Structure 1
Amino acid sequence: MTDDGLAHAIAERVRGCPGVADLSGGPFGTVATYLPGRRLKGVAVRDDEVEIAIVARAGRSLLETADQVRSVVVPLTDGRPVNVAIQDLEDS
């Protein structure tokens, strides 16, 4: 799978987690995969890691949300570590 396809697959899985309100670009918008003519915020696929930045839903365990995100993404990452950062909270 190309980095483009991988980034989109990761984003789809992350958005499907109940504790995730949205993806976030992270500090200064640096968590992103750059694609021709656009960028996918919230997922950075690198050779040595995958970084994910999210907006979590308030009222849910942040640790459980981060663990769930990591668990749905790990099968796609070919052994790369998955780092999840919660950048903001949203009241739902």
Structure 2
Amino acid sequence: MNEPTHETADLADEVADAVRRCPDVVDLSSGPFATVATYLPGRKVPGVALRDDEVEISIVARQGRPLPEVADEVRAAIASLVGDRPVNVHIGGMQ
């Protein structure tokens, strides 16, 4: 998304909250080189990159569950928020 708007900020916050509520997600992560984020005026939402054609999420996962299942859980948690955009989930660490 090119120009951050109030709607973009709200959506980024809603997506971040939904991801954090997933039981196998410890927290969001900015990913390698701190590149996964939505940049807003005066702040950023780390771990959530909203783009016109896709959404990228970077998380730290809880150990014990297969990582593809954790990624699917994240996708399901935000599906109603992001519409038809594909969701790429990066697991940047485990605890």
Q: How does the TM-score come out when normalised to structure 1?
A: 0.93
Shift of 1:38: 1.1
Match of 1:59 in 2: 64
Q: Which residue of 1 aligns with 2:3?
A: none
Percent identity of paired positions between Structure 1 and Structure 2: 58
Asked if 1:12 is matched to 2:27, the reply is no
Cα drift, residue 62 of structure 1? 1.1
Mapped pair 1:40 → 2:45: yes
- Runs of 5+ unmatched residues, structure 2: 1-5
CA–CA distance in structure 2, aligned partners of residues 61 and 23 of structure 1: 18
TM-score of the superposed pair, with normalisation by structure 2: 0.90
Aligned positions of 1:18-33 closer than 5 A: 18-33=23-38
Alignment-derived partner of residue 84 in structure 1? 89
1:72 corresponds in structure 2 to 77
What stretches of structure 1 move > 6 A for 4+ residues in a row? Answer: none
TM-align CA RMSD: 1.1
Q: Which consecutive unaligned segments of at least 5 residues does structure 1 have? A: none
Q: Could you tell me how far apart the structure 2 residues matched to 1:22 and 1:77 are?
A: 19
> How many residues align structurally?
90
